[in-house]
């Protein structure tokens, strides 16, 4: 898996066409350097999906009205990588290619987007993590400059509410991968000053101060420096994001953080046993912390059937994959294309939207309805549930929640108010911090061998 993931993060993927898709699923070009979650191509055929049940038109109209009135926040979108690597202008249509563009964000009734400043683990090895993050931050600012009537840069809860009043989409930023700060609290502060409002402490790689859920546990959770990073984020008012970290890291964060934390794009492990998902005991602790878990849409995470099928397929195709890797080891572009073809010929079963709603429902029942939201992972994953193929489909979540009997107040919480509440509390904790000068008590930089 790891080799494949590495190979497929190559830019070559950029031009790899996900084919053999049909029905309501649009073939997509895979993101460049992409597929943050599981950097491999994958197809999900809708051909065998059972027909969608007829929509209750009155309920749909009610859902649309509620959705438009609500503040709708998506806390994780990886379109930033395409904006950076391909100079993709989000104002132009990318239908059939990416999950996100401005017109579809509007169609989806989105109020605020957290653009993911995703720093691949290769930068942790080769150097340049902070520079990569800064390049991506620049792209978000440039997108807002290009489209000032549609977007507004936002760094606070007040900004998000103002953008909504002005009919604009609030553009926020979160770092994905704590190695982006290059072990420097000064860099962390600088990122805050540039507008970064959350940071996942790790990506799929364990870094020098925090263990990841998808890598070797080297620190038994957070190191002392890692705890200092969390405290400094609290002091600044940057949300601590536990998506991607190991269970022990998450538990350590919950011990240390004085402010509510978030999981910007994570789902429930009780429903699908994937290490990226959060177990019930930690969901309850996040509730005690007044934090929020923003549900990830990726079928391989949320659908046990898709996860099992994905693993079985990897096992089954291993000889062919190994052969391709050997044959095209000097031609990563061709290799990406060949692997795409192989997966397209071996699609995973489709995942219905109801499974995504089940995760929201489970977290609402386990942690409480005040502690769940949406963190799509659009353009960071190669496939999506039927009925949630791109960002324009967000109102379907509102409809499905109403259908399950959620009150309008609770739906609004899930769509965005929960995130705003946690964010506002993190802002309050920062304001009330006794350390008001940057670096007071903390000028530390993690050196070689230090903890
Ligand atoms: Zn991620």
Euclidean distance between CA atoms 60 and 202, whole angstroms: 39
Q: What does the pLDDT read at residue 344?
A: 82
Ligand 1 center from residue 276 Cα (angstroms):
9
Q: How many angstroms separate the alpha carbon of residue 203 from the centre of ligand 1?
A: 6
Report the separation in Å between the CA atom of 54 and the middle of ligand 1, taken as the mean of its atom positions: 34
* pLDDT band, residue 30 (cuts 50/70/90): very low
Q: At residue 389, does pLDDT exceed 60?
A: yes
Token match 């259908």: residue? 403
What span, in angstroms and rounded, lies between the C-alpha atoms of 443 and 229?
Answer: 11
The whole-number pLDDT of residue 26 equals 35
What is the per-residue pLDDT for 54?
Answer: 84
pLDDT band for 444, please (50, 70, 90 cuts): low
| Alpha helices, H only, 303-439 | 304-327, 332-344, 353-366, 395-403, 408-412, 418-431
Q: Active-site residue numbers?
A: 76, 78, 176, 203, 244, 265, 377
Whole-number Å distance, alpha carbon 178 to ligand 1 midpoint, is: 12
pTM above 0.85, yes or no: yes
Give the tens place of pLDDT for each residue, 334-383.
887 798 789 889 989 999 999 999 999 999 999 999 999 999 999 999 88
How many Å lie between the centroid of ligand 1 and the Cα of residue 61? 33
| CA of residue 436 to ligand 1 center, whole Å | 32
Fill in the DSSP letter of residue 14. G
CA of 244 from ligand 1 middle (Å) equals 6
pLDDT in tens, 163-179: 999 999 999 999 999 99
Distance 204 CA to ligand 1 centre (A): 8
Residue 447: band (very low, low, confident or very high) from pLDDT cuts 50, 70, 90: low
Domains of the chain: 1-30+309-338 (no CATH), 70-303+351-431 (3.20.20.140)
* pLDDT tens readout for residues 250-263: 999 999 999 999 99
Residue 1 neighbours by CB distance under 10 Å: 12
pLDDT tens string 193-252: 999 999 999 999 999 999 999 999 999 999 999 999 999 999 999 999 999 999 999 999
> What average pLDDT does this structure show over 267-272?
98
């Amino acid at each position: 898996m790891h080799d494949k993931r590495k190979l497929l993060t190559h830019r070559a993927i950029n031009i790899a066409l996900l084919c053999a898709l049909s029905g309501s699923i649009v073939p997509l070009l895979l993101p460049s350097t992409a597929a943050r979650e599981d950097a491999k191509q994958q197809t999900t055929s809708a051909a065998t999906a059972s027909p969608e049940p007829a929509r209750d038109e009155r309920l749909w109209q009610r859902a649309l009205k509620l959705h438009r009135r609500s503040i709708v926040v998506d806390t994780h979108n990886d379109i930033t990588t395409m904006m950076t690597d391909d100079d993709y202008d989000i104002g132009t249509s990318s239908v059939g290619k990416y999950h996100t563009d401005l017109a579809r964000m509007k169609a989806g009734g989105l109020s605020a987007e957290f653009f993911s400043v995703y720093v691949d683990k290769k930068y942790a090895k080769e150097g340049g993590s902070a520079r990569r993050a800064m390049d991506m931050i620049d792209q978000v600012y440039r997108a807002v400059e290009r489209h000032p009537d549609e977007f507004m840069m936002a760094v606070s809860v007040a900004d998000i509410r103002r953008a909504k009043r002005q009919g604009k989409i609030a553009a926020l930023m979160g770092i994905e991968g704590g190695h982006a700060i290059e072990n420097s609290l000064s860099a962390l502060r600088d990122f805050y000053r540039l507008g970064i409002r959350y940071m996942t402490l790790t990506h799929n790689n364990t870094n020098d101060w925090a263990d990841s859920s998808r890598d070797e546990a080297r620190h038994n959770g957070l190191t002392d420096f890692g705890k200092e990073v969390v405290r400094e984020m609290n002091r600044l008012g940057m949300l601590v994001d536990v998506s991607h970290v190991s269970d022990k890291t998450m538990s350590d964060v919950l011990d240390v953080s004085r402010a509510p934390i978030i999981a910007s794009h994570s789902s429930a492990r009780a429903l699908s046993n994937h290490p990226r998902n959060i177990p019930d005991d930690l969901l309850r602790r996040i509730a005690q912390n007044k934090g929020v878990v923003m549900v990830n849409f990726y079928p391989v995470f949320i659908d046990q059937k898709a996860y099992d099928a994905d693993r079985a397929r990897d096992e089954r195709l291993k000889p062919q994959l190994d052969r391709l890797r050997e044959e095209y080891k000097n031609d990563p572009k061709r290799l990406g294309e060949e692997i795409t073809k192989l997966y397209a010929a071996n699609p995973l079963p489709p995942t219905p939207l109801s499974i995504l709603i089940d995760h929201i429902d489970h977290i609402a029942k386990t942690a409480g309805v005040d502690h769940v939201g949406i963190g799509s992972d659009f353009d960071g994953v190669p496939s999506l549930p039927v009925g949630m193929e791109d960002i324009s489909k967000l109102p379907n979540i509102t409809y499905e929640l109403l259908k399950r009997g959620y009150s309008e107040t609770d739906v609004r919480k899930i769509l965005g108010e929960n995130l705003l509440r946690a964010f506002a509390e993190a802002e309050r904790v920062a304001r009330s911090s006794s350390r008001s000068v940057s670096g007071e008590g903390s000028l530390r930089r993690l050196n070689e061998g230090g903890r």
